[in-house]
Amino acid sequence: MTFGDSLRETRNSFGPLCVGIDPHEHLLRAWDLEVSARGVREFGLRTVAASAGRVGVVKPQVSFFERFGSAGFQALEAVMAAARDAGLLVIADAKRGDIGTTMDGYTAAWLSPGSPLEADAVTVSPYLGAGSLQATFAFALQHGKGVFVLAATSNPEGRVLQRAVPHAGEGHAGSVAAEVVETVSAWTRTAEPDAALSSVGFVIGATVDRADAGLPARLSPAAPILAPGFGAQGAEPRDLARLFGPDAHAVIASESRSILSAGPDPVALAARIDERRALYSEDQHG
């Protein structure tokens, strides 16, 4: 079963909401936890417990664990294992990016079956060229894993780079973001010609103006979109269909603060997840 298939199945059952596991320092304090590896472990495990059976996907933000070094990674391993054991799909938000055998190391770390940091998918960064990530895509597909490539983000500092124009006359897309999408899509056309949803998708911020970013109105082939920006960051669940149009079916809407602020009480946290998830239900889109 490919990651694209797993994601479709999960999304059919639970909808698009993904719980971001972001153990910010202020949240650790609010949850009465240590600002330490032990604290992020406990925070992550509680969030997983509240998420299991309520959503299909969780997204731990690696930097909040990495901050505590190897002990933080040990905590992350425990959190990801607990999530996968609970039947959740885990997207490790690591934004790794390198070339050649160095990139292979990151791929092995996050996508190898049996690896201590095994996730179901990982986010990657294409500054060295989306083409340099093809071995990662191939490895992912071969092992039922997924990849989300940074394409267009909503932070203002990212605008100049992501909208820069590749040199004309070389058959390139109209913006860096579009070139990333096209490089990946070309790969998918060959590697997964018949997939209903591909295994290599994109990070596209919920509030990104896709036309302005040079992105096509519809991804072809259909690819998963990890969309931060819902909840506390400003995009409304009811606007998902409008914001993503024909790609809405492929969107994983990541929320963290809007959910995690309901903790630490497990009942309140679970209730908040249910509440947020309901905002994405189909009849709310009508």
Catalytic residue list: 95
- Tell me: does residue 210 bind its own copies (CB under 8 A): no
Listed in sequence order, the residues at least 6 apart from 181 whose beta carbon sits closer than 8 Å to its beta carbon are 151, 173, 202, 215, 216, 219
Helix (H) or strand (E) holding 253: strand 251-255
Q: Is 155 an interacting residue with respect to its own copies (CB under 8 A)?
A: yes
Q: H helices within 197-239, ranges in order?
A: none
Q: Smallest gap, in angstroms, from Cβ of residue 253 to its own copies?
A: 18
**Beta-carbon count within 10 A of 221 CB:** 16
Of 167 and 194, the one with the shorter C-beta distance to its own copies is 167
x-or-dash string of contact with its own copies, 30-69, rule CB under 8 A:
-------------------------------x-xx-xxxx
At closest approach, how far in Å is the CB of 271 from its own copies?
Answer: 26
Stretch that binds its own copies, among 84-92, 137-145, 148-156, 276-284 (CB under 8 A): 148-156
Query: Under the criterion CB under 8 A, does residue 150 sit at the interface with its own copies?
Result: yes
Closer to its own copies by CB, 78 or 248: give it.
78
Sign of the CA dihedral with 140 first, then 142, 145, and 146 last: positive
d(CA 124, CA 97) in angstroms, rounded, equals 6
Alpha carbon of residue 147 to chain centroid: 8
Q: What crossing angle do the helices spanning 176-191 and 134-142 adopt, rounded to 10°?
A: 40
Residues that bind its own copies (CB under 8 A): 22, 24, 61, 63-64, 66-74, 76-77, 95-106, 108-109, 115-117, 125-132, 150, 153, 155-167, 170, 172, 175-176, 179-180
